[in-house]
Structure 1
Amino acid sequence: MLTIHAADEVRTGRDAEPIEGGAVAVEGNSIAAVGPLAQVRERFPQARVRSWPGVLEPGRLHEGPLPDAPSPRERVHAVLKSGAVAILAQYADSPGLRAAADRNDVLVLSGARPPALAESGRADLAVFDDTGACVATVCAGRLVHRRR
């Protein structure tokens, strides 16, 4: 199902100009479009729209050890709740953590890479409120965290 994630502002990358009233259309695990909400809705009038308060940007890389939790699944979920969609391989140091990351489509990377939101790219994004708290995380096109 095609979903449009709209926010007060969309940042496609660190150095990119913000898009006020922007949106990202997600189809499957890929980004179908990025731009102003009106233009994205015009391209995909049948899409469901999820509106988020705050800034929508590329999902982050969790650069340190995963948070402590009773199980590997809960450790990976804690990362997703922070707006991260990728972890460093050096911290996915057990088969259980790697399996939990794989089940949740969390990327396991050997090093940092510049995150970006671009058409045809993997749909990894997060929304942050004005305090910097994560409002929502989309990992490989799936909404995996939403703050209530």
Structure 2
Amino acid sequence: MLTIHADSRGHAFLVKGERIEAVGPLEELAAAQPRVRVRAWPGILTPGFVNPHGNELLERTYHPDPREADELGTEPLTGDALGSLTLDDARWGASARRGIQRMLTYGTVAVACEPFGSRAVRDAVRRSGLGVVGRLGTPGDAPSLDPFGSARPAMPATERRQGSAARFAVFDVRDEDELAERGAGTCVATVVAGRLVFRRR
């Protein structure tokens, strides 16, 4: 199935399956594919971002289930807060899936990590379609779901071009400078492996 994703500037991606079939102005892509579905988004299309804290956010952080909110709250738990929890593989896998969903709301399309030690986490990442980028050592800053939430520059995924994997995001900002200033909480949509995996309501 073909879909065009377009932003407020008229930039567009034609997506076929898990790949970007074409990149160009919306008018040109729509004229070449007059019957294709068009998703018009406010803001700017970007390659999406790599979160550098894959291990910390998915293997060393527990993301509570909403049904646990009365007992555990709604914020991710780390460090000493994890000590009182009994976390088997099933709970870690469910936590990782919720953590991934939270990452997607920030336009994350890949995670940087050392090899995951937990099979449940590896499976959750693989099934999500997120890209995985190797890293050496632990980043020196505090883990954040927002790729712009640390002192280091946000790492964009590879540029989107014809034939590349359909992994990108849309942010409701005027340009890249405003995105850097306001952060990835401005994300309105995230596409991974050609699928719309997050859409702000």
> For structure 2, which runs of at least 5 residues remain unmatched after alignment?
65-94, 136-154, 174-181
Equivalent-residue separation in structure 2 for 1:55 and 1:62 (angstroms): 19
List alignment gaps of at least 5 residues for structure 1. 9-19
Which whole-Å deviations, capped at 9, do the CAs of 1:3-61 have from their partners, x for residues lacking one?
A: 000101xxxxxxxxxxx311111000000111110001012212100010001110210
Residue 131 of structure 2 aligns with an amino acid whose one-letter code is L
Alpha carbons 1:4, 1:23 under 8 Å: kept: yes
8 Å Cα contact 1:21/1:36 also seen in 2: yes
**Residue 68 of structure 1: CA displacement?**
4.3
Q: Aligned to 2:193, which of 126, 140, 144?
A: 140
1:59–1:92 CA distance, 2 compared to 1 (3 A): farther
From 153, 160, 184, the counterpart of 1:117: 160
RMSD: 1.8
Structure 2 CA distance, aligned partners of 1:128 and 1:91?
30
The structure 1 segments of at least 4 consecutive aligned residues displaced by more than 3 Å after TM superposition are 111-114
Could you tell me how far apart the structure 1 residues matched to 2:171 and 2:116 are? 25
Counting matched residue pairs gives 137
Which of 61-70 and 138-147 deviates more?
Answer: 61-70
Distance (whole Å) between structure 2 residues aligned to residue 25 and residue 7 of structure 1: 12
Please name the residue that 1:40 is paired with: 29
Q: Please identify, of 64-73 and 98-107, the stretch whose mean Cα deviation from structure 2 is larger.
A: 64-73
Equivalent position of 1:5 in the other structure? 5
Q: Which of residues 104, 111, 134 is equivalent to 1:87?
A: 111
**For 2:115 and 2:62, how far apart are their aligned partners in 1?**
12
The 1:59/1:113 distance shift into structure 2, 3 A limit, reads closer
2:52 to 63, 68, 78: 63
Query: Counterpart of 1:118 in structure 2: which amino acid?
Result: R
Secondary structure of 2:121 counterpart: helix
Report % sequence identity: 42
Moved more, 63-72 or 101-110: 63-72
Please tell me whether the aligned partners of residues 76 and 101 of structure 1 are also in contact (alpha carbons under 8 angstroms): yes
Could you tell me the TM-score, scaled by structure 2's length? 0.63
**Residues of 2 paired with 1:92 and 1:51: CA distance?**
37
Structure 1 range deviating more: 80-89 or 65-74:
65-74
Read off the aligned partner of 1:137 and give its amino acid letter: T
In structure 2, do the counterparts of structure 1 residues 92 and 145 end up closer, same or farther at CA, with 3 Å as the change threshold?
farther
Report the CA distance shift for 1:79/1:91 in structure 2 as closer, same or farther (over 3 A).
farther
Does residue 74 of the first structure (1) align with residue 127 of the second (2)? no
